Amino acid sequence: MKPASVELSAALASCRSALVSLIVTSGLLNVLYLTASFFMLLISDRILPSRSVPSLVGLVLLALMLYAFQSALEALRGRILSRIGNVLDECLNPRVFDALVRGPLDGTAPANSQMPLRDLDQVRGFLGGSAPTALCDLPWMPLYFSICFLFHPLIGVATVSGALLLVLITLVADRLTRGPSQVAMEHGQRRSTVTEASCRNADVLIAMGMQGHFAARWEEAHHHYLMAQQRMTDVAGASSAVSKAARMALQSGVLALGAYLVIRGQSSPGIIIASSILLGRALAPLDATIANWKGVIAAQQSWIRLADTIRKAPAVRHMPVLPAPTRMLKVEGVSVAPPGGTRLTVKEVSFSLKAGQALAITGPSGSGKSTLVRALVGILPLNRGTVWLDAVPIPQWQAADFGRHVGYLPQEVSLFAGTVAENIARFTPNADRAGIEEAARQAGIHELIERLPQGYDTALGEGGTGLSGGQRQRIGLARALFGSPFLLVLDEPNANLDGEGDAALTQAILSVRARGGVVIIVAHRISALAAVDLMLTIEAGQVAAFGTKDAVLRNIRGRSGSEAGAVRADARPGRPSVSHPPIQILKESA
C-alpha cells in the first residue's frame, strides 16, 4: 500500500486514543471468548464427575456474567469503530470537498468527479461493518493456539495447520480478486461516463435520433461491468465456500483427534469439546475476513485513492488577512495551459491596470481569452508568471479573502438551488439585504426580481431553472457585483442580453470604474466596448495589441486597409450581422 498523505496520517493520529481503546477492548473480548470452551471443559471434567448442583449453578451464573460483559464489550467495540469512522470523515471531508470542487478544473472526467466522496463513504462504511471486528481479532489468534497446545501438542499442531490453510486460501483469494475488482471499477467508471454524458445531452440525443447509438454504448459498458463483477463475485464465493468447508473438516478432524487421545488415555473427554469450540473461535476471525474480503479490498483501494487525491490537491494554507486592494492589477509574463493539458494556450501575457480602468480582451475563437481570465481569478494555475493585486501575488491571498475582492461572471452562468437573494449574495450567511438590492440595481435587474412571485425570496431550481438565459446572466452579473469587489471579470457578459441588458451592463461597468474598481471584460460584440478605455487583442495565446481602445481599433482597421470590417453595433444573438475578417475578433465567441 502506498504511504498515506500527511492529512490521512494526521486524521489517524487524532484517533489515537480511540485506537488504543479498540486494542484494549479487543484483548478483553478475546479473553472472554474463552468462556464457552472452559465452561464445557469444567462441565465435562468437574461438574459431571462430582454431581454437584451448587457448583453447576455457580458455574452457570459466572458464565452468564462473563457473557454479559462480552456483549457489552462487543457493543462498545462497534461504537468505537463507528466513532473512528466519523472522526476520519470530519477530518477529511473539507479536503474531499475541495477535491470535488477542483476536480473538473484539473481535467477530471465528470463521471469520476464524485469518486473522492464515494471513497470516503466506502472507508467510513467499512469501519462500521463486520470486517474490522474480524481484523481486530486476528492478532489474538496465537492466544487460542497456545491454549490448544496446552490441551495437547497434537491439538495445537492441528489448529495451527488449519489456520495456515485458511491464510493460504485468503492470500489466493486476494490475488484472484484484485484484478477483477480493478477491472470492475474501470468498467463502472466508463459506464458512469456514458450515463452522465447521455443525461447532460438528452435534448441532442432525442432531437437528432442518437439515443439508440448511445444506448448501445451504454449496454456494452454495462455488460463489461457486469461480467467483471460476476468474475469477482465468483472468485470471492468460491474462496468463501472452500474456507467454510475446510473449517468444518478441521473441526471434525480435531474432534476425531481428541477422541483418539481419550482412547489412548492422553486426554480427558472435556478436552474434546473444549478444543473443538476453541478451534472454532480461533479460526472465526480468518473465516469472517475471507467472507468480507471483497469489502476489505474495496476499502483498501478507496483508502489508496483517497490518499492520492488528497496528496495531489493543494492543502488550504492559512494566510494573514491582507488589506483590501485599491490601486492596481498587474499581470506579468503569464502562461497558462488548459486543465489536464500541457500545451500552453496563453503565452507570456503582460499588462497592468490602475484603479478606475476597464480593459476589453478580444480575439478569435480559441485564442485563449477565457483561459486567461480564468487564470486571473485563480481558477486555473499559472504555468509561468505572476498576477498581482496591488503588491500581493494571488497565491498569498487567503482564498475566501481573495474571493471577496473579486467578481466573476463566466460564459456559462450557472445559478444554484436557493433563493434569488441567496444567489446574489453568494450564499453569504446573514447577508445585508440592502447590499443585495444594490447589486441587483447595478445589474439593472431589481425591478424584474421584484416582479417574481416572491421577489428576492423566489426559490430557483438547480442551474436557475425557471429563468431565461438573459435573466440568469443578469442575476449572475448582480452576484459578481455583490460586495463591491475591486476586480470585476466578465467573460462575454452580453451574450444573452437585449438592448436594455446591454445598457445595464455598460452602466454597471461605469459604476465600478467610478468607485475605483478594475474591470476586465471578454468581448465579442462592439456594444460591450462602450464603457472600457483599454483594449487587449490576443491571437494564438499571445498579445497582438494592447493600448487605448481607440488606438487598438485604429491599428486593426489600419491592418485591414478598410473600414468595412467594423462590427455592427446592433448585433444580437440570433440576428446575423455582416462583418469582415479584420474585426471578426470582436464578434466571435471566446
Question: How many structural domains comprise the chain?
Answer: 3
Q: How many alpha carbons lie under 13 Å from residue 382 in its C-beta half-sphere?
A: 23
Strand order across the 328-336 sheet: 346-354, 328-336, 384-389, 392-393
Average pLDDT across the chain, whole number: 80
pLDDT for 309-321, tens place per residue? 777 766 666 666 7
pLDDT at 584 (0 to 100): 42
Query: Which of 434, 457, 484 is the last residue before a domain boundary?
Result: 484
Whether the pTM exceeds 0.75: the reply is: no
Cβ 310 vs Cβ 92: under 8 Å: yes
Looking up residue 297, the CATH number of its domain turns out to be: 1.20.1560.10
Structural domain includes residue 1: no
* CA–CA dist 262, 270 (Å, integer): 10
Question: Which of 50-59, 268-277, 346-355 is the least confident region?
Answer: 268-277
At 328, which helix (H) or strand (E)?
Answer: strand 328-336
Same-domain pairing of 401 and 420: no
Structural domain includes residue 322: no
Structural domain includes residue 95: yes
pLDDT for 332-362, tens place per residue? 999 998 776 778 889 999 999 999 999 999 8
* CA–CA dist 511, 463 (Å, integer): 28
Question: Which of 122-126, 396-400, 451-455, 576-580 is the least confident region?
Answer: 576-580
Same-domain pairing of 370 and 433: no
pLDDT band at 302; cut points 50, 70, 90: confident
pLDDT at 590 (0 to 100): 35
Cβ 21 vs Cβ 78: under 8 Å: no
Same-domain pairing of 346 and 454: no
Question: Which of 111-115, 164-168, 458-462 is the least confident region?
Answer: 111-115
Structural domain includes residue 546: yes
Looking up residue 438, the CATH number of its domain turns out to be: 3.40.50.300
pLDDT at 12 (0 to 100): 77
pLDDT for 142-180, tens place per residue? 888 888 888 888 888 888 888 888 788 778 877 777 777
Same-domain pairing of 305 and 341: no
Q: Which domain holds residue 70?
A: 6-312
Same-domain pairing of 31 and 147: yes
Same-domain pairing of 382 and 257: no
Largest pairwise CA distance in the chain:
120
Structural domain includes residue 308: yes
Which comes out higher in pLDDT, residue 1 or 534?
Answer: 534
Query: Which of 435, 463, 484 is the last residue before a domain boundary?
Result: 484
pLDDT at 108 (0 to 100): 61
pLDDT band at 564; cut points 50, 70, 90: very low
Taking 90 as the threshold, does the pLDDT of residue 66 lie above it? yes
Same-domain pairing of 556 and 529: yes
Same-domain pairing of 436 and 426: yes
Same-domain pairing of 289 and 276: yes
